Structure 1
């Protein structure tokens, strides 16, 4: 009887030992599987990344200063998204007078994005006082496991008002007029074109009168998105001869302005 009990105890001990060995083998296999990445979740996938002018959700890759950029992308994520980062910066652009460098960075952690397979959709305001040119866009998606994916592209930021084919008289006799013409393209429509003429420290002589001129032109130009400015500006016969500073200012319907400056020599004859 004692022999059978002894054998039974040995069998139970062997069974427990074999069970422990089997469990250890399963654990080692599991660790091995984790090490080789066979059970890891894939990083997010970003597809259909589009961007353009925000007013009409354009996919054309340009936008105007003072407006906004529409951006959209589809995100396929096996793990929950933890953040979406958007960066926009210039490509070697030098600011002009009155302009400033612009760099944009924002981390989006809205509840709508912290899910599996979100759709990214945002509008970013573009300052009016930045240099026109090419800007680099980077979109980075990171999930809760630390996996991340990045896509990038480029967008052209354009001036809302451009002047071309400029022709202004360099000299003109007092008592006559000077000629000025140029083509204006204004995506928001032209509000007005102002001409300002003033002297450069010219002192009136006997029988002369100081001449400062300013006039706002609307007429055929108002609300046009493209127009040829063509005017003749009368010079009083009493204006002192000398160098005059001329400024043309074009304002669009959104309040954006662009200036063109030049000089004209007013002669006595």
Structure 2
């Protein structure tokens, strides 16, 4: 049997080449860090550049991710710096890691909605999205979002005193992203002496006309005080409620005088 040495040499070389390629595939390492693009954040399911969310609602987050080595985890961190914390409010920081199969791929789309507590301070918050791949490389993108109250009151004008038998003036502007349901005005006193000819007076009324379902409206009312109302300090609570049950309360006092 004759052996063609030339053909044998080519056969051996081909085998070495194939084995070398196989070893190279086994040792292949992707060095590039993940790429994050089309980062969106905003209110509810709103897409685009409006970086606004509302307390008691949610923040929409979305981004396209390319990770040649595959995604290991995605982290979202939300925090603020030096915001004034009002009565009934609490500082809010958010951090969560997603490392489930839904996002562990080469090019996933990240899409989540983050609930915002109703008692967070309004203001600017930082949003950091971090993607880490299977090789430990990470990339982060930073955004900012304004968290606002669902009901905002401005240009407040309320009389501080009123002569009984007259009326007092209450006026302010309302902005309610979910629409106004109603405004309730409650005026009452505690422990006032009721003199001769006087009658204890409380006021509690619901206002809807010109307000109901409006997202922006002016509240302007004149409230009559009976001539028989006892003189003294009265406590006034004005409650603005929206169509989703969120409320904004204005707390004031007014003096009822004899003359």
Coarse TM-score class (shorter-chain normalised): 0.7 to 0.9
Tell me the distance in 2 between the aligned counterparts of 1:88 and 1:129. 16
Q: Which residue of 2 aligns with 1:101?
A: 91
Q: Does 1:183 align with 2:177?
A: no
Q: CA deviation at 1:250?
A: 0.2
Deviation track 1:152-206 (CA, whole Å, cap 9, x = no partner) reads 1110000111111111112211111111111111111100001011125321112
Q: Distance in 2 between matches of 1:266 and 1:58?
A: 52
Give the alignment partner of residue 202 of structure 2, picking from 208, 212, 219: 212
CA RMSD of aligned residues (A): 1.9
Q: How many angstroms apart in 2 are the aligned matches of 1:40 and 1:187?
A: 47
The equivalent of 1:4 in structure 2 is none
Partner of 2:120: 130
Alignment-derived partner of residue 202 in structure 1: 192
Cα distance in 1 for partners of 2:213, 2:35 equals: 45
Q: Quick check: 1:193–1:216 contact (8 Å CA) kept in 2?
A: yes
Report the CA distance between 1:212 and its aligned residue: 1.6
Distance in 1 (alpha carbons) for counterparts of 2:128 and 2:174: 34
Do 1:198 and 1:211's aligned partners in 2 also have CA atoms closer than 8 Å? yes
Counterparts of 1:39 and 1:79 in 2: how far apart (Å)?
A: 8
Shift of 1:81: 0.8
Instruction: Please tell me whether the aligned partners of residues 90 and 103 of structure 1 are also in contact (alpha carbons under 8 angstroms).
Output: yes
Q: Deviations over 1:100-155 (max 9, x none)?
A: 11111111123121011111111111111111111111111111111111111110
Match of 2:102 among 92, 108, 112: 112
Please state which structure has a larger fraction of its residues in helix: 1
The equivalent residue for 1:260 is: 250
Matched with 1:69 is: 59
Instruction: Quote how far apart the aligned CAs of 1:59 are.
Output: 3.0
CA displacement, residues 231-254 of structure 1 (integer Å, 9 cap, x when unaligned)? 111111111111111111100001
8 Å Cα contact 2:173/2:218 also seen in 1 = yes
Aligned residue in 2 for 1:21: none
Partner SS for 1:112? coil
Alignment of 1:29-178 (within 5 A): 41-178=31-168
Gaps of 5+ in 2: 1-19
Equivalent pair of 2:61/2:111 in contact (CA under 8 Å): yes
Q: By how many angstroms is 1:40 displaced?
A: 5.2
State how far apart, in whole Å, the 2-side matches of 1:232 and 1:167 are: 12
